[in-house]
Amino acid sequence: MSIYFKRRSGPTFAGAFASVDKVNGLKTGHYKRNCTEDSQEWLSHSVELAEHSGAEARIPESVADPKERESSMKRLFALSRIALLLPVLALLAGRAEAQAVPALESIKSQEELDKTIASLDAALFDSYNRCDLEKFSSFFVDDVEFYHDQGGVTLGREKLTESVKKNICGKVTRELVPGTLQVHHMKGYGAVEMGVHRFHHPGHEDTEPVGEGKFIHLWQYKDSAWKITRVISYDHHAAAK
C-alpha cells in the first residue's frame, strides 16, 4: 500500500499522512477474527438444540414398544449430531466470508496467483476508500512494517490503521493504474505484489493535484488467511496530466 505525505507549504500532495508517529515499545495483541452475527446466532441455536436433545429430550417411560423406543433414540441421536455440527459450519461460513480467495497451496498457475492477489488488492483498497477500518486492518499482520520514502517508518497494524483514520478517511481515494500490477510467487510464504497507483482528493481536484507512486506489498499466507507483512511505498510525485 502506498500513501503520499502532505507538506506544510508549496504545491504538493495533500490529504495523505501528515506525519508518521515514532513507535517505541509498540504493544500489539494477537488478532482474532470473530464470527459473523449470523454465525453467532447459529452457535446459540446449536447450544439450545444440544441441551434440548440431551437433558430435556429423554424418551418417555410410557413408550413401551421396543421398536418405537428405538426409533425415538435414533431421532435424538440425529439431533445431537446436528447440534455438534452447527458450530463448525458457523465457523466455516465466517471464514469464507472473510476471505473468499484461494489458499496458497491450491494455486497452480501464474494466472491463478495474479487473480488472487488482484482480488486481495481490490478488497484492501475498497475498505481504504470507504474507510472501513475494521476490514482494512484485517489485511495486515500485527507487526506490519510500512516504509515510506517521504514519511519514514510506521510500525504495527494499530498505528497504520490510526494514520489512515486520521489522514485518509474522507480526504483521499486510491486507484490502481491499469496494466501496472505485477505478482511473483514466494515459495513457502506467499507472494510479492508491485505496481503503480494514484491518489485523488474528492471535492478538491481543482486545488489538490493527483498523486502517483509505486508500491511493494509482501503477502504472507498463514493460518488460512492472506495478510501483508511488509510495505514499501516510494517514488511519489504529481501524476502527469
pLDDT value at 13 more than 50: no
150 shares its domain with 75:
no
Q: Are residues 162 and 221 in the same domain?
A: yes
User: Mean pLDDT over residues 221-241, rounded?
Assistant: 95
Same domain, yes or no, for 66 and 128? no
Q: Which domain covers residue 70, as residue numbers?
A: 37-98
Q: 23 or 241: whose pLDDT is higher? A: 241
The answer to whether the beta carbons of residues 142 and 157 sit under 8 Å apart is yes
Q: Which residue has the higher pLDDT, 96 or 222?
A: 222
pLDDT tens by residue, 80-120: 677 676 655 555 444 434 568 999 999 999 999 999 999 99
What whole-number distance in Å separates Cα of residue 101 and Cα of residue 203? 34
Number of H helices, E strands in the chain: 5, 7
- pLDDT at residue number 16: 40
Q: Quick one: 128 and 165 in the same domain?
A: yes
The pLDDT tens digits for 164-207 are 999 999 899 999 999 999 999 999 999 999 999 999 999 887 78
Give the other-Cβ count within 10 Å of 56's Cβ.
7
| Residue 32 forms part of a structural domain | no
- For residue 231, pLDDT over 70 is answered with yes
Tell me if 135 is assigned to some domain. Answer: yes
Q: Which of 48, 66, 98 is the last residue of a domain?
A: 98
- Whether 211 and 116 map to the same domain: the answer is yes
Asked which of 66-75, 85-94, 154-163 is least confident by mean pLDDT, the reply is 85-94
What confidence tier does 79 reach under pLDDT thresholds 50, 70, 90?
A: confident
**Mean pLDDT of the residues in the chain:** 77
pLDDT at 171: 93
The pTM (predicted TM-score) of the whole model is 0.62
The label of the residue with cell 500532495 reads 13
Residue 186 in domain: yes
Q: What's the average model confidence in pLDDT over 50-68?
A: 55
Report, as an integer, the average pLDDT of 147-174: 94
Grid cell locating 184: 511473483
Each as own residue / partner, the long-range contacts of residues 110-116 (CB below 8 Å, 24 or more positions apart, any chain) are 110/183, 110/185, 113/183, 113/185, 113/191, 114/181, 114/183, 116/191, 116/226
- The answer to whether residue 15 scores a pLDDT higher than 90 is no
Q: Distance (Å, rounded) from C-alpha 160 to C-alpha 156? A: 6
| φ, ψ (nearest 5 deg) of residue 129 | -70, -30
**108 and 221 in a common domain:** yes
Do both 122 and 220 map to the same domain?
yes
| Percent of the chain residues past pLDDT 70, beyond the cut | 66
Q: What is the CATH number of the domain that holds 208?
A: 3.10.450.50
Residue 91: closest CA among 183, 224, 232: 224
pLDDT at site 75: 77
Residues 191, 219 contacting (CB under 8 angstroms): yes
* Same-domain status, 149 and 203: yes
- Mean of pLDDT values over 63-80: 71
Residue 83 and residue 183 in one domain: no
Same domain, 93 and 117: no
Asked if residue 13 is part of any domain, the answer here is no
